Amino acid sequence: MHIAILFGGSSFEHEISIVSAITMKKVLKNTQISYIFVSGEREFYFIDTQKINAKLFSSGEYKKSKVLSLKQGGFFVDTLFGTKSIDCEVVLNLIHGRDGEDGKIASMMEFYHVPFISPRMEASALSYNKLYTKFLAESLGVKSVAYEHLCARDERKISMDYPVIIKPVRLGSSIGVSIVREASGLDYALDVAFEFDSDVIIEPFIEGVKEYNQAGCYTNDWELSIVEEPQKEEFLDFEKKYMDFSRDSQVLSADISEALVLKIQENFKKLYDPLFRGSIMRCDFFVVDGEVLLNEINPIPGSMANYLFEDFEGMLERLIPHLSHESGISIDYQYIHSIQSAKGKA
């Protein structure tokens, strides 16, 4: 198996993507990996797999790497004898946040007919935006946490009781997230969130809520991870998630009943199939008074949530033959020819 890992991007989560990509080198022990870095300026660089480390990017040394171009069929590098393609079976989109999760990369891969593991365009658009995710869940019969929506131009008033949690609509990794315990703290929290996004959602902050993570994909059958109960304090802030995304060893299953596991898995399947086919995603659920509520969808989870699977590498290999591909369209200009014939210009 030969995979090209696409990472970086013009995103607030650029550095987390680098950590995830480096982690994959430890996880995919029997896989040939090619690394393709997307700079903040959205240039593609071919990174030497043997030399990849965090300092390569923070120092700017990556700019000495070969620049790639994206054309029909894949990525190419210029040589003295013309252009040469970067060999790989599939591209693994590991760009967190903007570019990777908002549909840009999915659109480019589709446009240039490059096989890729990632949510497709529609799935990206709906899961990147936390507000649209609420709409999606509701349409599928999956309950989610109660919310209110504010944009930067709105009056700063909310109707739900405190404490609440403020989240930018289009960001992950807890960037711009604040817990507000009383009305006097609302303005400051909104100022922080609006630094990163023009829209926010406000949800009730539930002290000590039980959270469970479920990841998986569909190959020729369902391949679901264990259900994890993440160990955390109030919520995982950016620094904690940065470290969390470098995990490469499997964690323990949550100590919950089989009935609750099945409820969580049932909700995951409703969200995944068919919209997220071709991707490995993770969903985070809250359980409140025995009811399973969607907290959020992670369409490209940190380090691909490899630590939740017993055989992550094998699952990747099994997923490749089951990726969805855009159907070709035959263009024969019959309509134009018929018009020309009707006008006597055939």
Backbone dihedral angles phi then psi of residue 341, each to the nearest 5 degrees = -65, -40
Pick the CATH number of 148-204 from 3.40.50.280, 3.30.1490.20, 3.90.1260.10, 3.40.430.10: 3.30.1490.20
Model confidence at 346: pLDDT above 70: no
The pLDDT of residue 243: 52
Q: From residue 221, give the alpha-carbon distance in Å to each of 23, 126, 217.
A: 27, 24, 9
pLDDT tens per residue across span 105-126:
999 999 999 999 999 999 999 9
**Cβ proximity of 246 and 301 under 8 Å:** no
- List, as one string, the DSSP characters of 256-313: --HHHHHHHHHHHHHHHTTTTTT--EEEEEEEETTEEEEEEEESS-GGGGGGG-SSHH
Model confidence at 251: pLDDT above 70: yes
* % of the chain with per-residue pLDDT over 70: 93
pLDDT tens per residue across span 278-327:
999 999 999 999 899 999 999 999 999 999 999 999 999 999 999 988 88
Q: Which of the four pLDDT bands, split at 50, 70 and 90, describes residue 19?
A: very high
Residues 6+ apart with CB under 8 A from 7: 17, 18, 20, 21, 35, 36, 37, 38, 94, 95
pLDDT tens per residue across span 47-76:
999 999 999 999 999 999 999 999 999 999
Model confidence at 233: pLDDT above 70: no
> What does the alpha-carbon distance between residue 80 and residue 64 come to, in Å, rounded to a whole number?
17
Ramachandran quadrant class, 60 (left: phi over 0; alpha: psi -120 to 50; beta: rest): left
Q: What is residue 46's DSSP assignment? A: E
The pLDDT of residue 231: 77
Closest CA to 279 of 218, 213, 220: 218
77: β partners: 68, 84
Model confidence at 206: pLDDT above 60: yes
Q: What is the crossing angle of helices 121-128 and 104-111, to 10°?
A: 180
What CATH architecture is 2-118? 3-Layer(aba) Sandwich (3.40)
Q: Is the dihedral of CA 298, 304, 307, 310 positive or negative?
A: positive
Listed by start position, the domains of the chain span: 2-118, 126-144+208-322, 148-204
pLDDT tens per residue across span 68-102:
999 999 999 988 888 899 989 999 999 999 999 99
The pLDDT of residue 341: 84
Q: Which of the four pLDDT bands, split at 50, 70 and 90, describes residue 136?
A: very high
Kindly report the CATH number that applies to the domain delimited by 126-144+208-322.
3.30.470.20
Closest CA to 229 of 261, 263, 260, 254: 254
